[in-house]
Amino acid sequence: MNSSCCRTTHPFDSIIPLPMSQSAARCQRSQASQFFNLAGRPGVISFGGGLPTAEGFPVDAIRAAADWVLEKEAERALQYSASAGEPELREALARWEAQKGVPTKAENIIICSGSQQGLDLIGNLFLEPGAKFLIERPTYMGALEAFELRGPNYVTLPSDEFGLNPDMMGEECRGARLAYVMPTFQNPTGLTISAERRRKLAEKAREYDFWIFEDNPYGELYYDEEPPLSMRAFAPERTITLNTMSKVLSPGLRLGYFLAPKHVIDVMERLKFALDLHTSTFTQLLTARCLEKGLMENHLPEVRQIYKMHAEVMLEALEESMPKHSEIRWTKPRGGMFIWLTLPKSIDAVELLERCLEAPEPVAFFPGIAFYATEKESNTVRLSFVTVTPERIRTGIRTIAECLKSMLKA
Choice from 110, 127, 191, 248 touching a copy of itself (CB under 8 A)? 127
Residues between 297 and 336 that touch a copy of itself (CB under 8 A): none
Q: Locate the DSSP E strands across 103-233.
A: 109-112, 132-135, 153-156, 159-160, 163-164, 178-181, 211-215
Q: Are 178 and 210 in contact (CB under 8 A)?
A: yes
Asked if 130 touches a copy of itself (CB under 8 A), the answer is: no
Binds a copy of itself (CB under 8 A): choice among 84, 149, 328, 400: 149
For a copy of itself, the closer CB: 55 or 297: 55
271 binds a copy of itself (CB under 8 A): yes
* Cα–Cα dist 392/355, whole Å: 18
Residue 117 engages a copy of itself in binding (rule: CB under 8 A): yes
55: CB partners within 8 A, 6+ apart: 306
Q: Provide, rounded to whole angstroms, the least separation between the CB of residue 84 and a copy of itself.
A: 11
CB of 251 to a copy of itself, least distance (A): 5
* Residues making up the chain, counted from first to last: 410
| Residue in 163, 75, 121 with CA at minimum distance from that of residue 257 | 121
Residue among 136, 148, 214, 215 that touches a copy of itself (CB under 8 A): 148
Smallest gap from Cβ 370 to a copy of itself, in A, equals 13
Instruction: Give the separation between CA 44 and CA 38, rounded to whole angstroms.
Output: 9
Of 52-60, 161-169, 290-298, 307-315, the window that binds a copy of itself (rule: CB under 8 A) is 52-60
Stretch that binds a copy of itself, among 158-166, 261-269, 297-305, 402-410 (CB under 8 A): 261-269
26 versus 308: smaller Cβ distance to a copy of itself = 26
Task: Show contacts with a copy of itself in window 6-35 (CB under 8 A).
Answer: 11-16, 18-24, 27-28, 30, 32-33
Among 142, 29, 87, 93, smallest CA distance to 281 is for 87
SS3 category, 162 = coil
> Rounded to an integer, what distance in angstroms lies between the CA atom of residue 226 and that of residue 197?
16
Residue 403: partners with Cβ closer than 8 Å, 6 or more residues away: 352, 355, 356, 359
Residue 107 touching a copy of itself (CB under 8 A) = no
Tell which one of 197, 198, 200, 254 touches a copy of itself (CB under 8 A).
254
Q: Which x/- pattern, by CB under 8 A, does the window 372-391 give for a copy of itself? A: --------------------
Footprint on residues 60-79 left by a copy of itself (CB under 8 A)? 62-63, 66-67, 70-71, 74-79
Taking the C-alpha atoms of residue 340 and residue 370, their distance in angstroms, rounded to an integer, is 13
Considering only residues 156 to 195 of the shown chain, the ones binding a copy of itself according to CB under 8 A are: 177-178
Identify residue 257 by its one-letter amino acid code.
Y
Taking CB under 8 A as the rule, does residue 263 contact a copy of itself?
A: yes
Least distance in angstroms from the C-beta of 27 to a copy of itself = 5
Question: Could you say which of 158, 261, 344, 362 contacts a copy of itself (CB under 8 A)?
Answer: 261
Cα separation, 323 vs 408, whole angstroms: 9
Of positions 97, 120, 136, 220, contacts a copy of itself by CB under 8 A: 120
Task: Give the integer Cα–Cα distance in Å for 291 and 298.
Answer: 10
Give phi and psi for 104, each to the nearest 5.
-145, 130
Nearer to a copy of itself, 14 or 99 (CB): 14
The least CB distance from residue 67 to a copy of itself, in Å, is 7
Q: Running DSSP on this structure, what letter comes out for residue 297?
A: I
CA-to-CA distance for 316 and 309, rounded, in angstroms?
A: 11
Select 193 or 260, whichever has its Cβ closest to a copy of itself. Answer: 260
By CB under 8 A, name the one of 97, 145, 214, 215 that touches a copy of itself. Answer: 145
Radius of gyration from C-alpha coordinates of the chain: 22
Q: Which of residues 199-238 bind a copy of itself (CB under 8 A)?
A: 203, 206-207, 209, 211, 235-238
Q: Which one of residues 216, 279, 287, 399 is an interface residue with a copy of itself (CB under 8 A)?
A: 279
φ, ψ of residue 253 in degrees (nearest 5): -80, -20
CA nearest neighbour of 283 among 50, 161, 51, 117: 117
What span, in angstroms and rounded, lies between the C-alpha atoms of 353 and 171? 39
Would you count residue 41 as binding a copy of itself (CB under 8 A)? no
> Considering beta carbons, is residue 81 or 380 the nearer one to a copy of itself?
81
Amino acid at 173: C
